[in-house]
């Protein structure tokens, strides 16, 4: 890691010279997240478990035991629901000092459900280059039904109706329309080959007439 010249204090949010931060070997960059001034003005209190005095950063909000004692006991504090829960209730994180998220799995899952629409819009923009609102416009122009079978989506997953899938040309990445799961899988199985699809259609017609 290149030598740091400046860093933003996570308390006062100022970009300050690295000399204005205390060293901290536990951090990847080797310095504490608060500047010296904020550290000196922080409120200190004594942990009821290890009896050590630490500044407020060493405690989760409203807790009497410090973070290190909580972690050693196999529990962690969720900053969303404000509850202490076993470590297995928290997801792993490579960017956190202790290797766990600061929010429990249940709170993360709830946020995903609340932001489901925004997450879907972001994924469509990332995967297909669709601007925000494009999906809704296409959905309305198709009358809310699949572009092939002309039926609304009927597949249910985890108690929720699955949205119509974005169909695109794999060679050009051009978005073609919105399809239900069956139609999207169907043309994919037929290798997006019009001739193969026509042969399949002729095969079905021939056997229907018998």
Three-class DSSP category at 121: helix
Which CATH class for the 115-208 domain?
alpha beta
Is it the case that residue 1 has pLDDT exceeding 50?
A: no
Task: Supply the angle between the helices 105-114 and 116-128 in degrees, to the nearest 10.
Answer: 70
- Give the least confident one: 60-69, 70-79, 89-98, 142-151: 60-69
- Cβ-based neighbours of 29, under 8 Å, separated by 6 or more: 1, 4, 7
User: Considering the chain, what is the average pLDDT of its residues?
Assistant: 86
In this predicted model, what pLDDT tens digit does every residue of 89-126 receive, in sequence order?
999 988 887 888 989 999 998 888 778 888 888 889 88
* Concatenated DSSP letters of 79-100: TTT--EEEGGGEEE-SSSTTSE
In this predicted model, what pLDDT tens digit does every residue of 37-59 receive, in sequence order?
887 777 677 888 788 877 666 77
pLDDT classification of 144: cutoffs 50, 70, 90: very high
In the chain, list all ranges with CATH 3.40.1800.10.
115-208
Verdict on whether the full-model pTM lies above 0.95: no
Q: Cβ–Cβ contacts within 10 Å for residue 146, how many?
A: 23
**Stretch (H or E) spanning 209:** none
């Amino acid at each position: 890691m290149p030598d740091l010249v400046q860093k933003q204090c996570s308390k006062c949010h100022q970009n300050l010279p690295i000399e204005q931060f205390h060293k901290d070997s536990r951090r990847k960059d080797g310095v504490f997240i608060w500047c010296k001034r904020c550290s000196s003005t922080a409120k200190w209190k004594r942990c009821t478990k290890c009896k050590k005095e630490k500044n407020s950063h060493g405690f989760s909000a409203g807790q009497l035991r410090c973070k290190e004692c909580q972690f050693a006991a196999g529990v962690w504090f969720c900053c969303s629901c404000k509850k202490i829960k076993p470590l297995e209730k928290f997801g792993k994180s490579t960017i956190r000092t202790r290797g766990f998220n600061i929010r429990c799995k249940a709170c993360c899952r709830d946020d995903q459900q609340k932001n489901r629409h925004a997450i879907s819009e972001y994924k469509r923009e990332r995967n297909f280059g669709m601007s925000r609102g494009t999906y809704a416009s296409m959905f309305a122009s198709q009358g809310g039904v699949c572009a092939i079978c002309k039926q609304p989506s009927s597949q249910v997953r985890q108690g929720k109706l699955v949205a119509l899938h974005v169909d695109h040309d794999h060679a050009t990445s051009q978005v073609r329309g919105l399809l239900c799961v069956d139609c999207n899988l169907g043309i994919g199985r037929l290798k997006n080959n019009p001739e193969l699809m026509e042969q399949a259609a002729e095969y079905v017609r021939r056997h229907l007439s018998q």
